[in-house]
Amino acid sequence: MRFILLLFSFLLLFQNFVFGQNTIKEGLQNLQSKNYPKAISIFDELLKKEPQNTALLYNRAYATLLLHQSNKVIEIKTEDLRFKNFQSQHDTLKHAYKLTSQALENYRNLSESDKNKLISEGIGNFKDVFNLKEGIAKASSNLIVDAFYYVPFQRLPLTPPYNRPENADTTQALRHILVLQATDFLETYQKTRAYDGIKNARRSLLKEFITIPDLRARGTGNGYLYEKYYAYILEDYTEEELRNIIPEFYGADWNFPKYGYKNKEEYKKLEAFAKSKSLTVLELFGKLNLHYKGVIYENKMCLNCDLYSDFINEFAPHQLAFVAVQKLASQFIVDKKWSEASAVYQKFKPLFVNKNFGKQDDFDKIIALLNQKEDNLRLKNLGKNINTGGYETAPVPFVNSYGNEGLYFCRMDLGTGQDVYYSFYENGKYSKAVRLPDGVNTNTHEVPQSVSFDGNTLVLFGNYGGLDAYKIELRQQNNKLGNGDLFFAERNTKGDNNNSNSPTWGRIKAFPFPVNTPNYEAGLSFSADGNAVVFSSDREGVIGNHLPKAPKDRLYFHGREEFNIDIFVSEKNGETGEWNEPINLGEIINTPFAETQPFLHPDMKTLYFVSDGHYGIGSGDIFMSKRLNPNSWTEWSEPVNLGKSINSPFLDGFYMGTSGEFAFIVLKNTETANQNQNNSYKTNYDIYRFEVPERFRPEPVLPPTIITGKLIDKNGKGIQTQIFIEDLGTGKIISSTQSSAKDGSFKVQISSNLFSNSNSSNPKIGMYAKEKGSFSTSQNISITTNKKGGNETNQNSSSNSTSQTSKTGMKDKPIIYTTNQNLEIYKISELINGETTVRLNNLFFDFDSYALQETSLPEIERLFEILKDNPTLKVKIEGHTDNTGKAEYNLQLSKNRAKAVSEQLISLGIDKSRVTFEGFGSQRQIADNFNDEGRAKNRRVEFRLSE
């Protein structure tokens, strides 16, 4: 038995030996039968044991090339290759090329007898190995030059489908990948026949990064691409071919003219400094890389920190030297090494202080900022209903006129551009985000900027003005649209259902001139009353030199591409409803650099904005300033930096919630970034929420007030027109809306903080309709404000109120007032010489007196406007009381009250011959006098018109 077992074991070993000897033949057989994956698998197993076997190296590479060629035929037949990234094929061929290179080196060192032995294993001669190497290089080069999206950049606008707006981002990403693939090819496939072709291909691809028109063709914000690829550009182009780079790309910072800049002292100084580093000026700017990576680290070693230090020492207090200080400290700030970051500013401070450098105390402020205790922001990701593996940004919190809270935001993915989504905050979490409908969204980019306080107007920055479906209509609204414009969509409230979870929107409209101009406008924010807008613009009237965004012959400025952008405000003309000429907020807010993304909080005092000109740790820090005078837009407190926990070394975005307790920020999600690291398209930015540190919060705000009602004609039919809400303490319009054409209903949301007398316990607001040739009755509501817990309704209004802080940033739920009486509207022509009298509801007298309260003036002024516009009309004022008290007393009181109104009209400028009055006491009752409601209706002042 033992002998039999030994014999069986010997047979197994012999079989394995024989199998091992025959495996390469089996691989060749699979190669011959075109079973390339099997052949590759066999050769890989053998290479693990014999990694230097020339035949295995050769045949493994040969099988890879044959498989690639076979798959290419299948792909052409079955796949849409227009947007295919061939990186995996490049990687496979690159591996095969390395195997072939090793096989070729081995083959050269073999004896003739050993070379002859390889004939039976697939290698006939040296030429076989050499041609395989060239064949792989050719296949790899074809992946680049045969890619559908490899076309001259100037031809892209004429080449479908790459000329379609929805494909712009995908095409750009793929062409960037081509640059990297071509560069990898040139490093890998040196001394091959295909090398020169790919060298020319990369040169052709890089051409789009060396002229401003080509960079601008992608939209602004792409200037960094030159510095991203500068090393390749300097390899492929001569400095003579790049002679435009220094004056055009860097000229704004150094005040270089387009021609003759080499004679400038600053250039000579740059040239001497570069020469001391064995660099040209172009190489110096590239290695500084101020507009792309800045300070560059590899394996925790800084590659250009010494160059930065020497540059700062040589050129301080030049503004770019200050930008270099910021860049030098940036990695320490990212790593939260605050003392090291502070030390950078301490080190270079003497070079800037007491010299010709802007604000000399900036260094002290930055050092103090870095030495402050860090805030614990406790960032919370908004979750999978909002965030994806792609790019979510521009969160805009809202509370709409139905009392629902939520968030608008922007999401970008391949083939869609940037689209606007919304989500409601319900039961402690955000609902699944829904894309806003076509009309608001298009096949290109749309970004939400803000939403009006009532939630009914969504402000957008987009490309509408250039799209065929919009441009004619928008140009009719404003023929001065230009280099970046602001648009808005109005919510179709009459088309919404009651729960308002499926909002519909009207046509996109352009903000009129002078908000939109041929210049750049962005980042618009409404005031809470809707009567002012703050926005960024590069128009004439900025602080400092007029340096518009994206000039034709300048690319970089102060480490960015924004140039000089200021924040402006435009107020609405109360008479015409048009926007007045914008006012610059002044040099306390604005600087000679870029101020953007303004947000005026509903407290009407606190402004948040991003600035590149005030002291900061990055290329655009977030600041807060307080409006010091409610009647002035140029009186502000000194802006305060929101600190190192909120700001970063990069351009920051910050989105404040209504209460000021919570804010939103957009950050890179490192978890999803790691998951998508092999996907070149994913950007992995998510929206987070955090609690704002107490010192950076605005004034406490009361919960909003929502008012509902109806507007009808004399027959009870609904009328569609504008409804105005006014502060009866000042007569100032604080909001407006439009009634529904269907039934005349309206709903409007206003900030309770707007009431001029909100410090009192019962502020009064009025409402009325306005239509040319008509006069409407008015309504008024007294709101009881509870400073600790929000608003309380009076006995004549219904309400719904809670008192908890929501995740969208609203301190309290809105309180909703439903008016008990309709607004009625009358044609002036119908009132003349008729029997109809119109009640003046918003007249207020002291108790048992005919002394008019100041809150009555807006109502009398409305009547005054009618008489002023119709100079032939006469008016009779009629006073009435209830039957409480003596008839004689009531008759005199009613007469005196009618007289008081008449005298007020005359004091406003109406000739006394056109005004009469009469008192009727309790003679003409319109309701019974058995309850308070009936008696209130009987106490009234009315007017009638005649010619």
What DSSP string runs through 206-225?
HGGGSSHHHHHTT-TT-THH
Domain boundary among 372, 387, 404: 372
Examine the domain organization and report whether 540 and 656 are in the same domain: yes
CB-CB contact of 799 with 805 (8 Å): no
Examine the domain organization and report whether 251 and 308 are in the same domain: no
Question: Which residues, listed in sequence order, are joined to residue 824 by a DSSP beta bridge?
Answer: 712
Quote the CA–CA distance of 244 and 249 in Å, as a whole number. 8
- Residue 629 sits at φ, ψ, to 5 deg, of -135, 115
Quote the CA–CA distance of 457 and 401 in Å, as a whole number. 11
DSSP code string of 566-603: EEEEEEBPTTT-PBPPPEE--TTT--SSBEEEEEE-TT
Condensed to tens digits (0 to 9), the pLDDT of residues 56-77 reads: 999 999 999 999 999 887 777 6
Examine the domain organization and report whether 434 and 341 are in the same domain: no
- pLDDT of amino acid 2: 44
Helix (H, G, I), strand (E, B) or coil at 397: strand
Helix (H, G, I), strand (E, B) or coil at 122: coil
Examine the domain organization and report whether 509 and 620 are in the same domain: yes
Mean per-residue pLDDT of the chain? 86
- pLDDT of amino acid 809: 41
Name the more confident of 308 and 19. Answer: 308
Residue 711 above 60 pLDDT? yes
**How does residue 802 score in pLDDT terms, banded at 50, 70 and 90?**
very low
Condensed to tens digits (0 to 9), the pLDDT of residues 121-171 reads: 999 999 999 999 999 999 999 999 999 999 888 888 888 888 887 788 888
Quote the CA–CA distance of 512 and 481 in Å, as a whole number. 9
Q: What sections of 712-759 are H helices per DSSP? A: none
CA nearest 184: which of 93, 281, 282?
93
Q: Which two tokens stand for residue 214?
A: 């080509």
- Residue 792 sits at φ, ψ, to 5 deg, of -130, 140
705-712 and 823-827 as β-strands: parallel, antiparallel, unpaired? parallel
Burial 40-57 (b: 16+ CB within 10 A, else e): bebbeebbeeeeebbbbb
Taking each helix axis from N to C end, the angle separating 195-206 and 168-188, rounded to the nearest 10 degrees, works out to 140
Strand (E) positions, 852-922?
874-880, 915-919
- pLDDT of amino acid 357: 65
Is 28 a member of any domain? yes
Burial 161-170 (b: 16+ CB within 10 A, else e): ebeeeebbbb
Domain boundary among 320, 354, 372: 372
DSSP class of residue 878 equals E
Percent with pLDDT over 90 in the chain: 59
Examine the domain organization and report whether 274 and 319 are in the same domain: no
CA nearest 729: which of 676, 787, 657, 782?
782
- pLDDT of amino acid 451: 92
Examine the domain organization and report whether 899 and 858 are in the same domain: yes
- pLDDT of amino acid 805: 40
Quote the CA–CA distance of 147 and 86 in Å, as a whole number. 9
- Residue 149 sits at φ, ψ, to 5 deg, of -90, 5
Condensed to tens digits (0 to 9), the pLDDT of residues 423-468 reads: 998 888 899 999 999 889 988 889 999 998 878 899 999 888 877 7
Domain boundary among 184, 202, 225: 184
Peptide bond into 317 cis (omega under 30): yes
Residue 545: count other Cβ atoms within 10 Å of its Cβ: 9
Residue 344: count other Cβ atoms within 10 Å of its Cβ: 25
Residue 816: count other Cβ atoms within 10 Å of its Cβ: 22
CB-CB contact of 558 with 612 (8 Å): yes
Is 127 a member of any domain? yes
The mean-pLDDT minimum among 99-113, 625-639, 688-702 falls in: 688-702
> CB within 8 A of 454, min separation 6: which ones?
400, 401, 530, 735, 737, 748, 749, 750
| 568: containing domain | 379-670
DSSP class of residue 884 equals S
Examine the domain organization and report whether 663 and 738 are in the same domain: no
Proportion of the chain in helix, strand, coil states, percent, rounded to 5: 35, 20, 40
Quote the CA–CA distance of 9 and 3 in Å, as a whole number. 10
Tokens 């103090």, residue located: 368
CB-CB contact of 537 with 568 (8 Å): yes
Quote the CA–CA distance of 93 and 184 in Å, as a whole number. 12
pTM: 0.84
Examine the domain organization and report whether 650 and 625 are in the same domain: yes
Is 396 a member of any domain? yes
Is 317 a member of any domain? yes
Residue 19 above 50 pLDDT? no
Q: Which two tokens stand for residue 486?
A: 């602001």
Examine the domain organization and report whether 391 and 535 are in the same domain: yes
Examine the domain organization and report whether 250 and 174 are in the same domain: no
Name the more confident of 668 and 898. Answer: 898
Condensed to tens digits (0 to 9), the pLDDT of residues 859-894 reads: 999 999 999 999 999 999 999 999 988 999 999 999
Helices (H) and strands (E) in the chain, counts: 24, 38
Q: What is the mean pLDDT of residues 792-817?
A: 43
Question: Which residues, listed in sequence order, are joined to residue 562 by a DSSP beta bridge?
Answer: none
Please report, as a single letter, which amino acid is at residue 128: D
Quote the CA–CA distance of 625 and 632 in Å, as a whole number. 14
Is 255 a member of any domain? yes
Q: In what order do the strands lie in the sheet with 722-727?
A: 732-738, 722-727, 764-770, 778-782
CB-CB contact of 766 with 859 (8 Å): yes
446-451 and 434-435 as β-strands: parallel, antiparallel, unpaired? unpaired
Q: Which two tokens stand for residue 349?
A: 């401070």
417-426 and 640-641 as β-strands: parallel, antiparallel, unpaired? unpaired
Give Dmax over CA atoms of the chain in angstroms: 141
Quote the CA–CA distance of 594 and 538 in Å, as a whole number. 9
- pLDDT of amino acid 501: 59
Examine the domain organization and report whether 590 and 466 are in the same domain: yes
- Dihedral through CA 93, CA 96, CA 98, CA 101, nearest 10? -120
Q: Which two tokens stand for residue 1?
A: 């038995």
Is 751 a member of any domain? yes
> CB within 8 A of 132, min separation 6: which ones?
58, 61, 62, 65, 100
Question: Which residues, listed in sequence order, are joined to residue 169 by a DSSP beta bridge?
Answer: none
Q: What is the mean pLDDT of residues 229-248?
A: 96
Examine the domain organization and report whether 334 and 230 are in the same domain: no
Condensed to tens digits (0 to 9), the pLDDT of residues 271-321 reads: 999 999 999 999 999 999 999 999 999 988 999 999 999 999 999 999 999
Q: Which two tokens stand for residue 193?
A: 């026949």
The mean-pLDDT minimum among 63-67, 486-490, 803-807, 894-898 falls in: 803-807
Helix (H, G, I), strand (E, B) or coil at 204: helix
Q: What is the mean pLDDT of residues 809-818?
A: 52
CATH code, domain carrying 773: 2.60.40.10
Q: 226: part of which helix (H) or strand (E)? A: helix 224-228
Is 514 a member of any domain? yes
Quote the CA–CA distance of 397 and 377 in Å, as a whole number. 19
DSSP class of residue 703 equals P
- pLDDT of amino acid 353: 79
Condensed to tens digits (0 to 9), the pLDDT of residues 514-534 reads: 999 999 999 999 998 888 999
Is 105 a member of any domain? yes
Quote the CA–CA distance of 350 and 366 in Å, as a whole number. 14
CB-CB contact of 305 with 297 (8 Å): no
Tokens 């606190």, residue located: 606
Name the more confident of 913 and 792. Answer: 913
CA nearest 464: which of 480, 479, 486, 449?
486
Residue 839 above 80 pLDDT? yes
Percent with pLDDT over 70 in the chain: 87
Please report, as a single letter, which amino acid is at residue 538: D
Question: Which residues, listed in sequence order, are joined to residue 794 by a DSSP beta bridge?
Answer: none
- Residue 285 sits at φ, ψ, to 5 deg, of -60, -40
Residue 184 above 90 pLDDT? yes
- Residue 475 sits at φ, ψ, to 5 deg, of -70, -30
Domain count, the chain: 6
Name the more confident of 681 and 675. Answer: 675
Q: Which two tokens stand for residue 356?
A: 């010709």
- pLDDT of amino acid 761: 56
Q: What is the mean pLDDT of residues 608-636?
A: 94
Query: Long-range contacts of range 32-35, CB-CB < 8 Å, 24 or more positions apart?
Result: 34/66, 34/70
